Amino acid sequence: MMKKACDHRQSLLMDIQKVDFMLVDLNEFLDTHPTCQEALDEYSNLVRVSQKLRCSFEKQYGPLMTLTWDSSQNDWPWIQNPWPWDVQ
Partner 1 sequence: MWYYDKKLQYPVNIKKGDLNMAKCIAAQLGGPDGELSASLRYLSQRYAMPTGKSKGLLTDIGTEELAHVEMISTMMYQLMKDATIDEIIAAGLAPYYTQHGKAVYPADASGVPFTTAYFQSQGDPITNIYEDMAAEQKARSTYERLINLANDPDVIDPLRFLRQREVIHFQRFGEALQDVSFHQMRPKYH
Contact residues toward partner 1 (CB under 8 A) are 13-14, 16-17, 20-21, 24-25, 27-29, 31-34, 63-67, 78, 83-85, 87-88
Q: Which is nearer to partner 1, 32 or 72 (CB)?
A: 32
CB of 27 to partner 1, least distance (A): 6
What distance separates the 2 farthest-apart alpha carbons in the chain? Answer: 47
Residues 51 and 42: their CA atoms lie apart, in Å, by: 14
Q: What is the CA radius of gyration of the chain?
A: 16
CB of 65 to partner 1, least distance (A): 6
